[in-house]
Amino acid sequence: MGEYLDQIPEPIQEHIRQITKTSGLGDGDDAVETIAQAWLEKKEIFEKRVEENNLEEVDSYLADDEQGALLLTYSGSLISVGPLVEGVRNVEYASIGLREDVPERAADDGSKLAGEVTVDSVAEFEPGPIKKSSAIFMIAVPKEEMEPEAEEELLSNVTQVLAEDFVEVNKTIIRG
């Protein structure tokens, strides 16, 4: 297909094609390659921020896990899942900023995960800022145990920095 799309794992390639259709860029090969290039840059940035902030990648995350997590979806959206405090979590959702079929940002401080979150499956919330995400590409959790307030702040800050980084990718690659 193309230089960038070929570097993306097979299951995500079709998702990239679907995202492109709702991006406003058209759905031709050039638009798909542009979205794929942006996706690869965002993946690299996510991995770098995970390492810088003493987070580690895991394959699954239990609904009743007390610590929080940072999720990166197939579409490049971010979900910050705060630590479990009194049975609920603060959840922040930030879309990739290109899709016209999802909210750009949403948050809910009384969220619950509907079940375990695993790589290659959707994350579902009841209630939450969104009902369900696109499939999860990466899950990152703090390496060390932290107080809930400190962990909440860390995850929120990392999400904010990543969202800003992703906006810059959109500006430089997609918007030219």
Whether the CB-CB separation of 169 and 42 falls below 8 Å is answered with yes
pLDDT (0 to 100) of residue 18: 83
Residue 95 has pLDDT above 80, yes or no: no
* Range in 8-17, 19-28, 61-70, 140-149 with the lowest mean pLDDT: 19-28
Residue 110 has pLDDT above 60, yes or no: yes
Whether the CB-CB separation of 39 and 8 falls below 8 Å is answered with yes
pLDDT (0 to 100) of residue 1: 56
Question: Per-residue confidence at 129, pLDDT binned at 50, 70, 90?
Answer: confident
Name the one residue in this structure whose structure tokens are 């932290």: 146
Give the C-alpha separation, 41 to 34, whole Å: 11
pLDDT, tens digit, 9 for 90 and up, residues 31-87 = 889 889 989 999 999 999 999 999 999 999 999 999 999 999 998 889 999 999 999
pTM of the model: 0.89
| Alpha-carbon torsion, ordered 25, 15, 161, 122, to 10 deg | 140
What would the mean pLDDT of 9-16 be, rounded to a whole number? Answer: 88
b/e per residue 122-137 (b: at least 16 CB within 10 A): bbbbeebbbeebbbbb
Q: What is the residue extent of each domain of the chain?
A: 1-176
More confident residue, 174 or 59: 59
More confident residue, 41 or 27: 41
Whether the CB-CB separation of 34 and 174 falls below 8 Å is answered with yes
pLDDT, tens digit, 9 for 90 and up, residues 142-163 = 999 999 999 999 999 999 999 8
Structure token digits, residue 103:
């909210």
Phi-psi region of 26 (alpha: psi -120 to 50; beta: other; left: phi over 0): left
pLDDT (0 to 100) of residue 176: 57
Structure token digits, residue 59:
């394959």
What would the mean pLDDT of 7-25 be, rounded to a whole number? Answer: 84
